[in-house]
Amino acid sequence: MPATVVVGTQWGDEGKGKLTDLLAAEMEYVVRYQGGHNAGHRIVVDGEAFALQLVPSGVLYPHLTPVIGNGVVVDPAVLLRELDTLIAKDVDVSRLVVSGNAHLIMPYHQELDRVTERHLGKNALGTTKRGIGPAYADKATRVGLRVQDLLDPKIFQEKLDMALREKNALLSKVYNRLPMKSKEITELYIGELAPRIAPMIGDTVTLLHDALARDERILLEGAQATFLDLDHGTYPFVTSSNPVAGGACTGSGLGPRDISRVVGIAKAYVTRVGAGPFPTELDGELAELLVDRGHEYGTNTGRRRRVGWFDAVMLRQAARLNSLTEIAITKLDVLDTLETIKVCVGYESGGKRFDYPPYHQSTMHDVTPIYEELPGWQSDLSGFTSFDDLPTNARDYITFLSKVTGIKISVVGVGPGRDQFVQPS
């Protein structure tokens, strides 16, 4: 049975956790393929909220095997804290498998993330300061430590000491910080964390291919989103991995022909945390209203999210970058009180119209959105269970989004709960 990918199509926080949880009911495996604990995926089941960072959102189903793939960067202390929080809520986490090839986030990665952001001053990217960028940088320069190194104290020590020679010089000579002590890091990673992580470490590539051979179903859960992608996002205001569907292959070890379904996920409007261009961004009262009604504060970092109108230009681009087979729209209910709603259908810059984002950053920073305005429905959608029963203006809004993006919409969220969604026929 070929695999399904869930991928964010905007700048993150589209509701990937909720959609993954929804689709996971029908899956045997849910796999995170990139990112780390910069992600915050919130799921609400029977009124109880779960905020997941590293553990795949399928973990709540007892029948399913959650997998942390090779493309993820893992802070083992954060992983164990998250597992403890889940255990305290009676979630069985014993089936989790972590790829031995995933890279470790080390204490110096977090410190470097913090100091480089400070060093950038007004040009700071607004990262989550979780060490994501520095960990992926070490992976690319081939000096990273991997999860499998936790199983071999000698190799761990050698690699750590080699890394610390460079990191400590950087921290103390460039950033004026105290050097880090090898002994303290080894005591934490090998002494405290490794014994608990060791039983979870495995060969996830073989695990997943064996599952496919048995005709079992795999869901690949993206973190971040298409426009935070290192290659295709609004560089440099991006994360350091490839959230796009192609990243699901490299980050899990499945091949392109192992994937048959790619579900793009988008809010009925747009949000963004951190710096970078945002053509449809709103301010003033309307922004306050959306932030307030949508609870637009980071799931883990608590940062206020910037908000704006739905942007069909981005969605068209996301459709081709990810080979989307469909889109799920979330948070339609957040727009319930609006008299009218705008949708960006194109960009304009220098007298030229763009149906796709311009590749050049200077043009992208300069574009003016071209809007179409639709009437709102001004009623509470949160209790609806059938698409056909929605108010006409709400149905028309969804039909319009499908028309201007050119993609089928398969699910529409009307509240955070697991059951709060409707499905257009």
Active-site positions read: 13, 41
Query: Could you say whether residue 243 binds ligand GDP (CB under 6 A)?
Result: no
Q: Single out the segment in contact with ligand GDP by CB under 6 A; choices: 22-30, 328-336, 349-357, 385-393.
A: 328-336
Q: Which does 128 bind (CB under 5 to 8 A by kind): ligand GDP, ligand IMO, Mg ion, none?
A: ligand IMO
Query: Could you say whether residue 415 binds ligand GDP (CB under 6 A)?
Result: yes
Of 42 and 130, which has the nearer Cβ to ligand GDP? 42
Query: Could you say whether residue 252 binds Mg ion (CB under 5 A)?
Result: no
Q: Single out the segment in contact with ligand IMO by CB under 6 A; choices: 37-45, 79-87, 90-98, 253-261.
A: 37-45
Q: Single out the segment in contact with ligand IMO by CB under 6 A; choices: 70-78, 125-133, 144-152, 159-167.
A: 125-133
297-326: which residues touch ligand GDP (CB under 6 A)? Answer: 299
Question: How many residues of this chain bind Mg ion (CB under 5 A)?
Answer: 3
- Shortest spacing between CB 330 and Mg ion, in angstroms: 11
168-207: which residues touch ligand GDP (CB under 6 A)? Answer: none
Which one among 100, 274, 294, 413 touches ligand IMO, defined by CB under 6 A?
Answer: 274
**From CA 101, how far away is CA 81, in angstroms rounded?**
21
Of 39 and 254, which has the nearer Cβ to ligand IMO? 39
Query: Could you say whether residue 299 binds Mg ion (CB under 5 A)?
Result: yes
Q: Single out the segment in contact with ligand GDP by CB under 6 A; choices: 38-46, 161-169, 182-190, 338-346.
A: 38-46
Query: Could you say whether residue 72 binds ligand IMO (CB under 6 A)?
Result: no
218 neighbors 4 (Cβ within 8 angstroms): yes
Distance separating the N- and C-terminal Cα atoms of the chain: 24
- Shortest spacing between CB 267 and ligand GDP, in angstroms: 8
Q: Which does 130 bind (CB under 5 to 8 A by kind): Mg ion, ligand GDP, ligand IMO, none?
A: ligand IMO
**Angle, nearest 10°, between helix axes 132-140 and 107-120?**
110
Query: Could you say whether residue 13 binds ligand GDP (CB under 6 A)?
Result: yes
Which one among 3, 15, 146, 217 touches ligand GDP, defined by CB under 6 A?
Answer: 15
Contacting positions for ligand IMO (CB under 6 A): 8, 12-13, 38-41, 125-128, 130, 132-133, 223-225, 228, 237, 239-240, 273-274
Residues at the contact surface with Mg ion, assessed by CB under 5 A = 13, 40, 299
Question: Which positions touch ligand GDP (CB under 6 A)?
Answer: 8, 12-18, 39-42, 44, 299, 330-331, 333-334, 413-416
